[in-house]
Structure 1
Amino acid sequence: MKTKIKRNKAVFIGLFFCNLIIAFLTPYILPERYFNDTITIIFDKGHEIGWFGSYPFAIMFYKITGMRHFSFFVITLIQFPIVTYILYKIGVPSNFHKLNVKNGLVYVALLLTGIYMSMPTKEFITFVMFCTIPFIFKSNKKPRFKIIFSLILIACFSFFRPYYLLIPIFAIGMYVISFVKFENKTFSTIFYGLLIAIFLSLSHGVVRGEYISKLTRENYVMNKINKNNINTAIVSPISQDTWYGEAFGIVYGFMAVNVPIVEAIKHVLSPQVLAFVVWQLLIFYILFVRFSRCLKNRKQYQLELWILLILFAYFIVQGIFEPDLGTSIRHKIGLFPLIYFALYYENFRKEIQPSI
């Protein structure tokens, strides 16, 4: 008896094999600077190995698994099929074979995923951690349990990147704010989410003597710029030494990594950067429109609303910490299971519906 593969799954599998080939070629194509993190993870020259922090844990992970001794070919053959299978288990939309903007963005994301999974990388670990959230939301548990457990789990991920602890805080804050009647609830919810981020950063400045974004992004970027190791650096035009400079810097950072129009103007002669900008703008726009719809009908879209709250909370976190556009895109690939789930939530809703 012949097994017939549906067109949507055939395209998904076809993309996997095409991107797998590209992933195999990645080490021979990309410039050396793209492997800075990989070099740190493999050789651990700074003796950072440990259980807490992204670099220490990644070094420990690749040492324990022995994968740091594998060739990039073998690592690709392990990591990329795993993350692709995870997405496959989350679900392949019925219209995945049709060429449209949303599917096109996901095709590109799958390509980027293949590239980043072709080497020892922190994004593989992030991907595996955050893929748990869609599966929790697809489970038969009660909605309240799904939401609370997911937020607690994300907070626990802070052992890897401490700023993940901010995601539940911002998500809950925006959820509470969304009950206030604003003329434009979507913009207002995100705006007040940014205000929460600014308040936390300024509070950190009062207690510790240095603002969060200044301490992390600005100092890091200035050091990298001096070494010519960064191309699309996010540098606020106002110094973040003052409270108003820090506030502006966080908003500027949020716009730079999520609505990077200024970055496009700065790098108008760089096709690669422009491609990243277009991808990011379209992803943000689609998620923003979905967020707006969910806020208007929160009862019908309760779970989808929380997925989007988590994502936009993460986007705000990126506005505080991300040093450059390229890094922000790479980090988004780590959270791609959530983005993928949000983009195709309507396709998965029938599976989730019985538990609501």
Structure 2
Amino acid sequence: MKIKKNIATFLLLAMANLVIGFVSFFILPPKFFYDAATIAYDKGNEIGYLGSYPLTILFYKITGLRYLPFPVVGLIQFPILMYVLYKIGIPENFEKINVKNILIYMGIFMIAIFISMPSKEFLTFLYVVPIVFMCKNEEVSLKKAIIITVLMLLFFGAVYRPYYAFIPIIGGGMYAVSLISFKNKTIKTIFYGLLIAVFLSFSHGVIKGKYLSEISRNVVNDKRMGSSDANSIIISPVKTDTWYGEAIGIFYGFFTVNVPVNGLKHIFSPQIIVFIIWQLLLFYILLVRFSKCLKDRIRYSKELLVLLVIFSFFIVQGMFEPDLGTAVRHKIGIFPLIYFALYYESFRKELQ
């Protein structure tokens, strides 16, 4: 039986990156494995039923994966994620070299790097997959898809990663704003999404006494300042202990994470430059697709839902992400959504 070129390309990429994921343990510096070591060894006895580290540690203990060498964990996890992408679908012309396909090729490479070890992103990746399958399934109504997606994100925020609970709030606000007729709707929708994030942080500051970036990004970066791991940390140009400082910090964080032109200063760190180029191209293409879905929201209703989740996540990253490296790694957690958003037109053809 003859295998189609697009499927053959996907399988070759999967096999090649499986090897990369296996050997990465022997090549990458120790800092790449800090999280994995925390999860596997649990020296702080953090295991539990609430929170990203406790639940992830529990998962790897129950499955027995924590007792395996990291390269072996990679040999188990990576094929599972590739199978998930395969079930979502392999787009036509996947074998052709173009910007969109290259972004996915690079994304698969980064999956091999970041999830070839015990990882919170492995669980996040699997958790968001049902959203994609709901949006692909014509038998699932838009209303049902929205309700389930919102509940999933709120639940995930409540028990695993708190910032996911902000995604439905920001996404809902962005959708409401997009209903207003004005010029440059795409950019203004994202701008108002950022304002919603600022308002959420202000509200937290009023109630708890500290803004959101103060209790997340700043806490992490203050400990790393001056260390060898601090070369790509995100530091706001102004202190975020005032309302205007926090507002500037969120906008600065958003652009640093998603349009990281200021990261080009790391010219002598090729791995950072590669991530920056990937992020710039990804953001641009998703922005174009977001604009298309906003213009024809009836036809692309479910695609718009996915893109609202993605851009809300990007905005949330502006509040919480401590550095460029973790920003890319966390995007791998929502890679199924990105994959669907880049190829939704191809998937539509499959359903017709």
TM-score grouping bracket, smaller chain normalisation:
over 0.9
Indicate conservation of the 8 Å contact 1:204/1:212, yes or no: yes
Distance in structure 2 (CA, Å) of the matches to 1:220 and 1:75: 27
Indicate conservation of the 8 Å contact 1:254/1:320, yes or no: yes
Indicate conservation of the 8 Å contact 2:135/2:303, yes or no: no
Q: Which residues of 2 match residues 192-207 of structure 1 at below 5 A?
A: 192-207=192-207
Indicate conservation of the 8 Å contact 1:138/1:351, yes or no: no
Distance in structure 2 (CA, Å) of the matches to 1:226 and 1:63: 34
- Which digits, 9 at most, give the CA deviation of each residue in 1:62-106, with x for residues without a partner? 111111111223211210000000000000001101110100110
Q: Which residues of 2 match residues 1-356 of structure 1 at below 5 A?
A: 3-139=1-137, 140-158=139-157, 159-264=159-264, 266-351=265-350
Distance in structure 2 (CA, Å) of the matches to 1:268 and 1:73: 30
Indicate conservation of the 8 Å contact 2:201/2:211, yes or no: yes
SS across alignment from 2:225: helix
Distance in structure 2 (CA, Å) of the matches to 1:203 and 1:149: 26
Indicate conservation of the 8 Å contact 2:18/2:78, yes or no: yes
> Over aligned residues, Cα RMSD in angstroms?
1.1
**Amino acid across the alignment from 1:202:** F
- Which digits, 9 at most, give the CA deviation of each residue in 1:122-162, with x for residues without a partner? 11111110111101112211121112211211211111101
| TM-score, normalised relative to structure 1 | 0.96
**Amino acid across the alignment from 2:270:** P
C-alpha deviation, 1:270, in angstroms: 1.7
Distance in structure 1 (CA, Å) of the matches to 2:248 and 2:226: 23
Distance in structure 2 (CA, Å) of the matches to 1:55 and 1:200: 25
**Amino acid across the alignment from 1:79:** Q
**Amino acid across the alignment from 1:188:** K
Distance in structure 2 (CA, Å) of the matches to 1:67 and 1:297: 45
**Amino acid across the alignment from 1:112:** M
**Amino acid across the alignment from 1:330:** R
- Which digits, 9 at most, give the CA deviation of each residue in 1:157-208, with x for residues without a partner? 1111011101111111100000112211001000000000000101111111
- Which digits, 9 at most, give the CA deviation of each residue in 1:100-123, with x for residues without a partner? 010011001001101122111111
- Which digits, 9 at most, give the CA deviation of each residue in 1:262-286, with x for residues without a partner? 111x312221111110000000000
Indicate conservation of the 8 Å contact 1:8/1:94, yes or no: yes
- Give the 3 Å change call, closer, same or farther, for CA 73–270 of structure 1 in structure 2: closer
Indicate conservation of the 8 Å contact 1:217/1:323, yes or no: yes
Structure 1, unpaired ranges of 5+: none
- Which digits, 9 at most, give the CA deviation of each residue in 1:219-239, with x for residues without a partner? 211111244433210000100
Distance in structure 1 (CA, Å) of the matches to 2:225 and 2:131: 36
SS across alignment from 2:49: coil
Distance in structure 1 (CA, Å) of the matches to 2:130 and 2:350: 16
C-alpha deviation, 1:352, in angstroms: 5.3
C-alpha deviation, 1:52, in angstroms: 1.2
**Amino acid across the alignment from 1:114:** A
Distance in structure 2 (CA, Å) of the matches to 1:22 and 1:229: 23
Distance in structure 1 (CA, Å) of the matches to 2:351 and 2:206: 45
- Give the 3 Å change call, closer, same or farther, for CA 352–314 of structure 1 in structure 2: farther
Indicate conservation of the 8 Å contact 1:41/1:120, yes or no: yes
- Which digits, 9 at most, give the CA deviation of each residue in 1:11-48, with x for residues without a partner? 00000110011111000110001100011001111111
Indicate conservation of the 8 Å contact 1:123/1:333, yes or no: yes
Distance in structure 2 (CA, Å) of the matches to 1:130 and 1:196: 23
SS across alignment from 1:214: coil
Following TM superposition, the consecutive aligned residue runs of length 4 or more in structure 1 with deviations greater than 4 angstroms are none
Indicate conservation of the 8 Å contact 2:47/2:58, yes or no: yes
Indicate conservation of the 8 Å contact 1:137/1:352, yes or no: no
Distance in structure 1 (CA, Å) of the matches to 2:78 and 2:228: 31
Indicate conservation of the 8 Å contact 1:136/1:150, yes or no: no
Q: How many pairs are equivalent?
A: 350
**Amino acid across the alignment from 1:26:** S
- Give the 3 Å change call, closer, same or farther, for CA 338–243 of structure 1 in structure 2: same
**Amino acid across the alignment from 1:248:** I
Distance in structure 2 (CA, Å) of the matches to 1:181 and 1:143: 23
